[in-house]
């Protein structure tokens, strides 16, 4: 059964347009509360959010909906998405909810959920919630209405958790690090994590005003980080996205490392320190060079569908610990139950510190294949799978690439976009092929 409201990462859209409206979010909160009441006598739900101006409005609606179904609510204020996963588990609560649209602009917002164990919830749970949303409400009596309270020092609790994942035998003393929080949820916790581990920290993208999240800063706009690292002669730069579950890293030479490269560094570090790494999980977008490099080191590599929830599902199925996406969603299940930009950054810095080698040195011999990614905006109701012109062009390019490359066409799970990716050993070939596919997608 297909989902009506949920996408690949919760429910997301433009604020003021269905489904991201106060009335729907009220109904959603009520539906979630009803579903929880089926297995919890008195459920308690944690709500965190990023820094978007709309977060306050949606938080109020969600809180009211949960209370109206007899669920208690705990509010954290702005905190990273992975902080909600951690705090839900640490506080032994029934459910964690994040109000965020991640790397999207401030006009968008969304709702995503974590289980009591701090993990993404399965499709079956989302379908149950969708059925409850469309059902008639069942308001509880006045004596059963849920209560709401705030969690003291949610940010401080999360900072200590992040620090606990970094080796106690190491520190960041002597390093100058630029931290870019994208004016998002990590603005008041990310700099403190690195500072408390000994680094000199330069803050950028840490002044949210409700409207500037992801605007020219953060993991989706790393140019600001590269510039700041150069200006301050820093050793490293760390960029998060709006909800701080995505990571980009820059070294002192201005080289930018994406999630594929950072995943390889995390695997290589564990191997160098005698830890067994039977396998790692990437996605359909993961660069072929990383797959080949891992296989050469005896590490099996498996591709999941695009989306960190699918990487997580594959890791859990196989009992593995490390996975991620080139976009910077990285999973280290020996540290946290979900992708965490801060913890991933600490794992990368830990690898550099205990191996005594730079990131560039750790990636010697791993030369990424050129990739070209073009986003094609889809018209309302447009079915790209029925585009015969695109299908024919896809067939021709597949034959032309042969074993020297690959292509991937997929619809975004969070935006009305068709993502066209071509990977080849030659950059010019990847660029030309991707442009041909994009033109066919538009014309068809």
Q: Is residue 173 part of a domain?
A: yes
The answer to whether 240 and 217 have CB atoms below 8 angstroms apart is: no
pLDDT of residue 404: 77
Q: What does the buried/exposed string (b/e) look like for 168-199 if buried means 16 or more CB atoms within 10 Å of the residue's CB? A: eeeebeebbbbbbbbbbbbbbbbbbbbbebeb
Asked about 60 being catalytic, the answer comes back as no
Same domain, 232 and 281: no
String of DSSP letters for 93-125: -SEEEEE--TTS-TTEEEEEEE-TTS-BPPHHH
Q: Which of 225, 255, 285 is the last residue of a domain?
A: 255
Order of all β-strands in the sheet with 95-99: 11-14, 108-114, 95-99, 44-49, 72-78, 148-150
Q: Are residues 142 and 17 in the same domain?
A: yes
> Are 89 and 337 in contact, with CB atoms under 8 Å apart?
yes
Same domain as 409, residue 377: yes
Residues 187 and 60 in one domain: no
The pLDDT value given to residue 1: 61
230 domain-assigned: yes
Q: How is residue 189 written in tokens?
A: 């916790």
Whole-structure pTM value: 0.90
With respect to residue 107, please indicate whether it lies within any of the assigned structural domains.
yes
Q: Which residues contact 10 (CB under 8 A, 6 or more apart)?
A: 98, 110, 111, 112, 113
In the block, residue with structure tokens 């749970």: 125
Tell whether 5 is covered by a domain: no
**Blockwise average pLDDT, block size 10, the chain, 444 residues:** 84 97 98 94 96 98 98 98 98 98 97 95 94 96 98 97 97 98 98 98 98 97 97 98 97 97 98 96 93 95 91 96 96 96 98 95 93 89 88 94 87 84 92 94 83
Catalytic position from the list 68, 100, 102, 221: 102
Q: Are residues 344 and 404 in the same domain?
A: no
User: How many structural domains does the chain have?
Assistant: 4
Q: 172 with 266, same domain?
A: no
Pair 386, 352 in one domain: no
In a shared domain, residues 262 and 344 = yes
Q: What is the pLDDT of residues 139-171, one digit of tens each?
A: 999 999 999 999 999 999 999 999 999 999 999
Of 255, 282, 317, at which residue does a domain stop? 255
383: CATH: 3.30.310.50
DSSP annotation string for 282-318: EETTS-HHHHHHHHHTT-EEEEE-SSHHHHHHHHHHH
Does 3 map to a domain?
A: no
> What CA–CA distance (Å, rounded) separates 336 from 86?
8
> Is 121 found in the same domain as 76?
yes
> What pLDDT score was predicted for residue 9?
85
The helix/strand/coil state of 411 is strand
Task: Give the position of tokens 């070294």.
Answer: 251
Q: For residue 253, give both structure tokens.
A: 């030479």
**Same domain for 304 and 174:** no
Domain-ending residue, one of 219, 238, 255: 255
**Domain assignment of residue 189, given as a range:** 157-255
Q: Is 21 inside a domain boundary?
A: yes
**Which residue is listed with tokens 């891992």?**
294
Same domain? For 271 and 243 the reply is no
Residues 338 and 395 in one domain: no
What is the domain-level CATH number for residue 174? 3.40.120.10
What is the pLDDT at residue 262?
98
Residue 305 falls within a domain, yes or no? Answer: yes
Residue 293 lies in a domain: yes
């Amino acid at each position: 059964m297909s989902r009506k409201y949920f996408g690949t990462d919760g429910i997301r859209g433009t604020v003021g347009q269905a489904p991201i409206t106060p009335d729907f979010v009220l109904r959603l909160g009520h539906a979630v509360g009803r579903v929880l009441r089926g297995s919890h006598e008195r459920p308690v739900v944690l709500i965190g959010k990023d820094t978007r101006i709309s977060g306050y409005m949606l938080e109020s609606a969600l809180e009211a909906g949960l209370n109206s179904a007899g669920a208690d609510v705990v509010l954290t204020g702005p905190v990273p998405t992975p902080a909600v996963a951690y705090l839900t588990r640490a506080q032994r609560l029934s459910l964690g909810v994040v109000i965020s649209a991640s790397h999207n602009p401030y006009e968008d917002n969304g709702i995503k959920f974590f289980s009591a164990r701090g993990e993404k919830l399965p499709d079956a749970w989302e379908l149950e919630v969708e059925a409850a949303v469309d059902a008639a409400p069942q308001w509880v009596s006045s004596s059963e209405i849920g209560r709401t309270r705030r969690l003291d020092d949610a940010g401080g609790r999360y900072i200590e958790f992040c620090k606990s994942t970094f080796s106690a035998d190491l520190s960041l003393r002597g390093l100058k690090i630029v931290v870019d929080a994208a004016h998002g949820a990590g603005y008041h916790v990310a700099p403190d994590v690195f500072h408390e581990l000994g680094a000199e920290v330069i803050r950028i993208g840490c002044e949210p005003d409700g409207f500037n999240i992801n605007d020219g800063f953060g993991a989706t706009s790393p140019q600001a980080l590269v510039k700041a690292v150069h200006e301050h002669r820093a050793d490293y730069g760390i960029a998060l996205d709006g909800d701080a579950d995505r990571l980009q890293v820059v070294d002192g030479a201005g080289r930018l490392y994406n999630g594929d490269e950072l995943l390889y560094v995390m695997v290589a570090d564990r191997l160098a320190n005698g830890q067994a790494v039977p396998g790692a999980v990437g996605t359909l977008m993961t660069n072929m060079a990383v797959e080949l490099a891992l296989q050469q080191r005896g590490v099996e590599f498996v591709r999941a569908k695009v989306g960190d929830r699918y990487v997580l599902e594959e890791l859990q199925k196989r009992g593995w610990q490390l996975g991620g996406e080139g976009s910077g969603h990285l999973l280290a299940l020996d540290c946290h139950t979900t992708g965490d930009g801060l913890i991933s950054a600490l794992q990368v810095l830990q690898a550099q510190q205990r191996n005594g080698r730079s990131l560039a040195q750790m990636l010697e011999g791993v030369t990424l294949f050129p990739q070209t990614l073009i986003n094609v905006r889809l018209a309302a109701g447009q079915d790209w799978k029925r585009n015969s012109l695109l299908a024919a062009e896809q067939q021709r390019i597949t034959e032309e690439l042969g074993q020297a490359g690959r292509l991937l066409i997929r619809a975004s799970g969070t935006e009305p976009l068709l993502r066209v990716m071509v990977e080849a050993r030659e950059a010019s070939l990847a660029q030309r092929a991707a442009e041909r596919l994009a033109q066919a997608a538009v014309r068809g």
